[in-house]
Chain A
Amino acid sequence: MAQREHRITSSARILDAAARYRRQKKALEALEQDNFHDEPHADLVMSKKVPKFQESNEKGPTKKKKQRSSEYFKLKFRKAINTLIEEEQLENVEGPNYSTAGAPPSKLPPRSFCTVCGFPSSYNCIPCGGKYCSLKCLKTHQDTRCLKWTA
């Protein structure tokens, strides 16, 4: 018995709570992501003088106001959403604000679904904590996901 336990612990690296939390967080961030690939036009060298078709007709004397460049708005207003949330928390502690409006955790018990096939599952993978429902799915999980995409 002792020998068997020893074998399990030595053969499989077990992720600790912090690593599992990091993985979870990464998965949640992926749900917010807009693009998963690089910009297709990134390698293009655009000449700045490419004519815009809308402008050509109305370049008359009517333009009295100097247009602010997009740089202006970038500098003035472009802020990461997380900075904004933090700033607001400092300023408006009492609320109601963005942070106080978030729905609280559910009172219902969590459900678990197999990470491989998506059906309800009852087992947890020992090394990574991922859920699986059958030996077949566990095999797939070990071959593909388990400890394979840790940052």
Chain B
Amino acid sequence: MPKLILDNGGYSIKAGFSTAEKPRLIPNCISKARSERRRPFIGDQIDDCRDTSGLFFILPFQKGYMVNADTQKTIWDYCFGKDVLDVTPTETDIVITEPHFNFKTLQEAVCELLFEEYEFRSLCRTSSSTSADYYYSITEGIQKKTSCTLVVDCGYSFTHIVPYVNGVKVTESVRRIDVGGKALTNHLKEIISYRQLHVLDETYLINQVKEDVCYVSTDFSQDVEVSKKKLSENNTIVREYVLPDYSSIRRGYIRKLEETGKRAKDNEQILRLNNERFTVPELLFHPSDVGIPQMGISEAIVTVIESFPEPIKHHFYDNIVLIGGTSCFPGFKERILHDVRRDASIYADTNVFLPTNPTFYAWEGAKKFSQDAEFSKYTVSRNTYNEKGLNAFAKICDI
């Protein structure tokens, strides 16, 4: 019997049966468009929407936690329904991911929804980084004969740095940085609105802009110098982005390099992005640049590792795993490798692993986990839940 794997993220749901090769990626939101007055779009129904300007979002997640269970239910109804996965809950075991330090009331909400509303047969609760650690340990880790992994989960709402020893999460050492893809998109939106064009309403569009043009700088001061130059003086950073008009141009794109700096065609509206391209993702490494009183990813990675005793440190430096959608920025891995190598207090082999698809890595890990011989130990059946409630998960779940 296939199991349903549900990586329930703040930005997107990665859902699919354990028999599937890849999960289906569904935005975890309900969007309302100006052009379609009749109908709210649930999840990936937004792909049917022709004019995505000024979308209004209703999200089940706030700061990375599922605070709006009713919105989540609407989206899950769609995901489990005939059009998408066609799940028969009473005959299905489900694996779901939850954020670290999930609040007790919200844990209850998830269980109540899945067991009492949908009546799933059994439930396994894990977290995306735990699945990633499992996947890493049975693939890369086994070759290296290591038992320590440091998972960096850089998602939409926040970034978690989670150390694992022998597959067990070291809860006291988990650190969270309150910067994720959402803060970056909002920051980019704010800058563009101030410097060029009012786009505060266009979250969907600016998110695309961010994905298309932003990158993590591996040499910040050098990039600042280059971006200060004029275009004619060989500024290799500036890019021009053609905005969609939702009639002839459906999706925005980067203008060809040879056209950059020339006059826009009559039907084109253009954003010019210069230092924005790398100062925006820079927030991940220096949250203090906008006044968030926290250390950046690289510094936090080193601080977490340095809190362990000497012999273990080496293993952590050797096994840093990056997952989550925000780690897709070009240069992200190189920057972390560079910074961590520079700041490590000991001479250690440093190795940063970025999966081919960081967004799906946790889902794939959870899928592999569901095929593990020990898997059934980590599940709770509906009957047991009805008897014991949330306590049934006490020993087997590391949330």
Contact = CB atoms under 8 A, between A and B. Distances in A.
Interface of A: 24, 27-28, 30-41, 44, 50, 54, 65, 67-68, 70-71, 73-74, 76-81, 84, 87-88, 95-98, 101-108, 110-111, 113, 116-120, 144-145
A102 B200 contact: no
B318 interface: no
15 contacts: A24-B291, A31-B182, A31-B183, A41-B56, A70-B73, A73-B70, A81-B63, A84-B67, A101-B174, A101-B176, A106-B288, A106-B295, A108-B299, A110-B289, A116-B194
Nearest to B99: A98
Interface in B277-294: 279, 286-294
Contacts of B235: none
Given A37-B56, A96-B171, A102 B105 contact: no
A41 B57 contact: no
B191 interface: yes
A33 B193 CA distance: 15
A65 B119 CA distance: 11
Interface string B292-335: 11111001100100000000000000000000000000000000
Interface string B228-251: 100000000000000000000000
B246 to A, nearest CB: 15
Given A84-B105, A98-B101, A41 B37 contact: yes
Contacts of A103: 161, 175-177, 294-295, 300, 303
A19 to B, nearest CB: 15
A101 B101 contact: yes
Interface of B: 32-34, 37-38, 40, 54, 56-57, 59, 62-63, 65, 67-70, 73-74, 81-83, 100-101, 103-106, 108-109, 113, 117, 119, 161, 171-172, 174-178, 182-183, 186-187, 190-191, 194-195, 200-201, 203, 224, 227-228, 275-276, 279, 286-296, 299-300, 303
Contact of B59 (A34, A95, A110, A116): A34
Contacts of A68: 117
Given A35-B57, A118-B279, A77 B69 contact: yes
B291 A33 contact: no
A28 B279 CA distance: 17
Contacts of B191: 118
Contacts of A118: 191, 195, 275-276, 279
A101 B63 CA distance: 14
Contacts of B176: 98, 101-103
A88 B106 CA distance: 12
